[in-house]
Amino acid sequence: MNVYIIVDIGGTQIRVGIYPEEGLEPLRLEKIATQGEGKPLDRLIKLVAQTFPSEHTVRSMVVAAPGAIDPHRGIMVSAPNIPGFVNLPLRKVLVDQFNVPVSINNDANMAAMGEWCFGAGQGHHNLIYMTISTGIGGGVIIDDRLLVGERSLATEMGHITVLPDGPRCGCGQRGHLESISSGTGIANYFAEQVALGVPSVLSSAPNPSTREIAEAAKEGDALSIQAIRRGATFLGVAIADYLHLFNPSIVILGGGVTKSGPLFWDTLKENLAKHLCSQEYLAGFDIKPAALGDEVGLLGALGLARMQYHTNHLILS
């Protein structure tokens, strides 16, 4: 039987799945905490070795990994939360160890692939995927190809400037989308307003999360409503920018912040429409929540593995 080895490296856990030529059910799926006894790289290799399908023919191994990835050279340039994963030639390490073709890819790009191949974006040719969570990441499909850019640094959707001299972003710059519309951005704004004395039912809670703020907003808490609305407003402006630049037929939003209810989605859509130079961008256009859950990166890497095997169409490495 022909199979693919699919690896998803996260800050919390590493997963390895063995998938057949068709369908989404893995023949085997194992996971392990990313950090524990031994180095993360050794833990990864051990898990792949334990899961390795010796009884089958392995077509390829495709890895989804966090941080800055260079798929052309097969290198993990940096992964902020995983010790030892700096300028790591992971493709070479895995090829040497397991003697199968290996491809290393950014996890946000793989999530975009997952939604495109098997989720909310099926059948589309021009698609934007964003995850609005602690940070903001994303991937873009143009004419059925993943956009990676000259040095694999493209589609950093969270780092466009939406508010000059706005809040400090995790990257150090000011006013980037991520500094305002991510979960962190919304929670920071809320905490600032509480510190300024703005009343809220949550003001006695220590550092409420965006989820708690969204719940309080549903109950009518004015500051919580304002905080969610502010994040969604700037996200709408940013998505209008993306429509002007990429003219996609669908935008798919995943991540915890997108579960903040109608206040979030309605504000977002209203501001998206309000900033377009032409309503033509909305003809035949859809904006939707992500359809896949936690497995989106694994499934995207699976989709890519099959596509790389069957065509040369998607240039990735």
Applying CB under 8 A, the residues found at the interface with its own copies are: 68, 125-126, 140, 142-143, 145, 147-157, 159-164, 169, 171-173, 176, 237, 240-249, 274-278, 280-281, 283-285, 315
Whichever of 149 and 289 has its CB closer to its own copies, that residue is: 149
Tokens 């040497």: give the residue: 96
The residues, ordered by sequence, that sit 6+ positions from 215 with a Cβ below 8 Å of its Cβ are none
What stretches of 34-78 adopt beta strand conformation (E)?
57-65, 68-70, 75-78
User: 106, 65 in Cβ contact below 8 A?
Assistant: yes
Instruction: Compute the least distance from the CB of residue 152 to its own copies, in Å.
Output: 7
Please give the full DSSP string across 191-216, using - where no structure is assigned.
HHHHHTT---TTTTSSS--HHHHHHH
Instruction: Compute the least distance from the CB of residue 278 to its own copies, in Å.
Output: 7
Q: Is 277 exposed, middle or buried (CB count within 10 Å of its CB: 0-12, 13-18, 19+)? A: exposed
**Three-state DSSP class for 49?**
helix
Q: Please give the order of strands across the beta sheet that includes 102-106.
A: 28-33, 13-20, 2-9, 57-65, 102-106
Whichever of 162 and 216 has its CB closer to its own copies, that residue is: 162
Whichever of 184 and 200 has its CB closer to its own copies, that residue is: 184
Instruction: Compute the least distance from the CB of residue 275 to its own copies, in Å.
Output: 5
Whichever of 246 and 265 has its CB closer to its own copies, that residue is: 246
Instruction: Compute the least distance from the CB of residue 282 to its own copies, in Å.
Output: 10
Instruction: Compute the least distance from the CB of residue 161 to its own copies, in Å.
Output: 5
Give how far Cα 45 sits from Cα of 38, 61, 93, 200, Å.
11, 12, 9, 49
Instruction: Compute the least distance from the CB of residue 252 to its own copies, in Å.
Output: 14
Whichever of 196 and 283 has its CB closer to its own copies, that residue is: 283
Whichever of 163 and 191 has its CB closer to its own copies, that residue is: 163
Whichever of 222 and 245 has its CB closer to its own copies, that residue is: 245
- What sign has the CA pseudo-torsion 137, 33, 82, 4? negative
Whichever of 195 and 277 has its CB closer to its own copies, that residue is: 277
Instruction: Compute the least distance from the CB of residue 205 to its own copies, in Å.
Output: 30
Instruction: Compute the least distance from the CB of residue 304 to its own copies, in Å.
Output: 16
Instruction: Output helix, strand, coil percentages for the chain, rounded to the nearest 5.
Output: 40, 25, 40
Whichever of 55 and 143 has its CB closer to its own copies, that residue is: 143
User: 32, 43 in Cβ contact below 8 A?
Assistant: yes
Main-chain dihedrals φ then ψ at residue 52, nearest 5 degrees = -55, 125
Give how far Cα 83 sits from Cα of 176, 261, 289, 306, Å.
27, 36, 33, 31
Instruction: Compute the least distance from the CB of residue 173 to its own copies, in Å.
Output: 6
Per the document, the length of the chain is 317
